[in-house]
Amino acid sequence: MVKSVKSTEVVLQADNVTMAFAAGTASEVVAFRNISFSLHQGEILAIVGPSGCGKSTLFNVIAGLLRPTSGSVTVDGTLVDDATGHVGYMLQKDLLLPWRSVLENVMLGLEVSGAADQAARERAMSLINRYGLGGFESARPKALSGGMRQRVAFMRTLALDPKAILLDEPFSALDFQTRLILQGDVKRIIREQNKAAILVTHDIGEAIAMADRVLVLSHRPGTIKAIHDIDLGDETDPVAVRRTEAFNNYFDVIWGELDAHVEAAA
């Protein structure tokens, strides 16, 4: 496992971002309030928080699909005010096109942005070969397992070489074993590609095992309850790491902050 190469270079900055739907009307819903954080080159930041606290909405704001009510997001110092492909976005559903092969799916975003030249094709093939899909480049999605389809979706995100990668509950539809394997592999790949990534998950263990920092959001409207630096020492195996004292300490603290009993009873 490649260690973090987190630098001090800020890739993405959220400043006091608030998002309210139907703002100023009787049906106003404030999704989240006053969110500020930085994401550094080579860093994985996990965001955990109860369902409905605004995590996916925050991603839509970062991707430029929604305008925040107040505050700002910058990527590489440029204000996000439109969906310009500055970030790669991966969701729980793989959204692969069934009639396209693995390679054609990985190339999809490149084609849409007019960048599907020979060099891009070679880059896509090298991602496919390097990260567990070699020999499947001509296969259709229906011939693949759920875990492999998520790998293809992740390769499609990487192929665009975005400044930052947003992962919204990317493993939550997978069985437990596959999820653990993908957590380890995706973390390793992000490290090797020296990417900055934000992972939204409601799985506390996944957040601790994968991230350099974990940001904890409150119930809606989501506000930042805490941000934890994660240091798991030298243990990087995604399963073994769960048996360490450090992992369990982080788990207990974050579990307490999430107020999970309140959520379960709600």
Q: Which does 21 bind (CB under 5 to 8 A by kind): Mg ion, ligand ADP, none?
A: ligand ADP
Alpha-carbon 188 to chain mean position: 14
Stretch that binds Mg ion, among 55-63, 83-91, 127-135, 176-184 (CB under 5 A): 55-63
Is residue 104 exposed (0-12), middle (13-18) or buried (19+ Cβ within 10 Å)?
middle
Nearest distance in Å: CB 200, ligand ADP: 7
- The secondary element (H helix, E strand) that includes residue 75 is strand 70-75
Contact 125, 105 (CB under 8 A): no
Could you tell which of Mg ion, ligand ADP, none binds residue 126, using a CB distance below 5 to 8 A set by kind?
none
* Nearer residue to ligand ADP within complex by CB, 38 or 92: 92
The owner of tokens 């009873």 is 265
Q: Does 220 bind ligand ADP (CB under 6 A)?
A: yes
For ligand ADP, what does the binding mask look like between residues 27 and 66, x meaning CB under 6 A? --x-x-----------------x-xxxxxxx---------
State how far the alpha carbon of 253 is from the alpha carbons of 52, 154, 230, 249, in Å: 21, 30, 12, 6
Q: What is the CA radius of gyration of the chain?
A: 18
| CB nearer to ligand ADP: pick between 44 and 217 | 217
Q: Which is nearer to ligand ADP, 65 or 143 (CB)?
A: 65
Q: Residues 217, 48: contact at Cβ < 8 Å?
A: yes
Reduce the DSSP state of residue 163 to 3 states and report it: coil
Which lies closer to ligand ADP via its Cβ, residue 31 or residue 158?
31
Nearer to Mg ion, 140 or 225 (CB): 225
Least separation in angstroms between CB 258 and ligand ADP: 12
For residues 216, 147, 150 and 195, what is the CA-based torsion angle, rounded to 10 degrees? 60
Please select the residue that binds ligand ADP; options are 10, 21, 38, 72, rule is CB under 6 A: 21
| Cβ-Cβ contacts under 8 Å for 218 (sequence gap 6 or more) | 49, 50, 53, 224, 225
| Token pair of 169 as six digits | 């509950």
CB of 50 to ligand ADP, least distance (A): 7
Verify binding: residue 90, ligand ADP, rule CB under 6 A.
no
Binding mask 4-43 for Mg ion (x = CB under 5 A): ----------------------------------------
Q: Are 98 and 129 in contact (CB under 8 A)?
A: no
The one among 4, 34, 38, 56 contacting Mg ion by CB under 5 A: 56
Residues contributing to the site for Mg ion (CB under 5 A)? 55-56
Residues contributing to the site for ligand ADP (CB under 6 A)? 21, 29, 31, 49, 51-57, 220
